[in-house]
Every structure is written in C-alpha cells, then in structure tokens.
Amino acid sequence: MKTICVYCGARPGASPLYADGARALAAALVEQNLALVYGGGKVGLMGVVADEVLRLGGEVTGVIPNALVEREVGHTGLTRQFIVKDMHERKAMMARLSDGFIAMPGGMGTLEELFEMLTWGQLGIHDKPVGLLNVGGFYERLAAFIGHARDEGFIGADHAARMLVADEPQALLARMRALAPAQPLYT
C-alpha cells in the first residue's frame, strides 16, 4: 500500500476526540510512508487530517468537485489538488488513486462513500481493504448493524468481514496491509 483514501466529516463533530483521531491517523500515515487521498476541503475533519499530514511532511492529494471548491473551502496548500466535474468523477478518481480506504467519523457523505467502496468490493470492482477508524466508539452501532444484517441473511459473512474496524490507526493500518491485494482490480 502506498496511498490511503480517508473519508471524514466536513464538520469537526461535537467532541475534540474526533480531531485528535484525525491527527493520530495523519501521524500513522506519515510514519508508515502512506500518502493521503481525500476530498480536498480545508474544513472539518477533512482539513484536520490534511493539515496534519502536511505539517508532518507527508503527501496529500485532494479531489474536489468544482461546485464544492467554495462550499467546502477547497484546500490550497496540498501536494496535488484535482478539481473535477462532479461527485461521481470525484469518487472514481479517489478510488483509482488509492490502495485502501478508511472512514473516520462523518455524516451522510462519509457513509455514502464508505458503503460505495464496500459495495464495489463485494461486486469485484476492486479488492482493496476498507476500514472504519472507530474514534471514541463512533462506529460501534454501525458495525453492530452490519452484523445484524449478516445474521438476518442480507449480507454474506465474507462481505461483512470486508469492513475492518479498529479503534487505533496503527491497528487498522496493520489489518489493512494484511488484506491488501498484490494487484488492484480497479485501475
């Protein structure tokens, strides 16, 4: 793995734990020489993780739709910034540029991106690891729901197991490295 796509909130959330988690993830990425790919904004947790990776000397690639450059206050100090036509192009480019995906706390957009990558993995579009960084227990109920959907026969056990969950960035990255494919299916 060389690049990790991080999905997270354009808002900081109600607890300072979330920003602390974003900084911890950034430190783990830089320590492991992993470049960050993310949504290109400078606000909320997106801005925190990007700023910290940059502060620590890491590489950051942002991908942001033209319509969101002002709304999400597009980050202007990144290693690379791609301004694309729309959300579909954004998500496809982020997927192509990344060797794995991590969802930190966030809202509807974060969840939509997370589930799209899980679904693409289920469909064989990619075979890249997908993880949840469970900062402050944020994703415990979601993980329990996925388990419930598995138990009720709506998600296969192998597909449910594709969603890796860990409380600490180092542990999550170790699990992701163990599952990273030698050759990505999606290019």
pLDDT of residue 30: 98
Average pLDDT over residues 46-61: 98
- Tokens read off for 91: 């998500």
- Tell me: pLDDT of 182 over 70: no
pLDDT of residue 185: 47
Average pLDDT over residues 97-115: 97
pLDDT in tens, 148-174: 999 999 999 999 999 999 999 999 999
Among the ranges given (30-34, 46-50, 102-106, 160-164), the one the predictor scored with the smallest mean pLDDT:
160-164
pLDDT in tens, 9-21: 999 999 999 999 9
pLDDT in tens, 118-130: 999 999 999 999 9
Q: Which pTM value belongs to this model?
A: 0.94
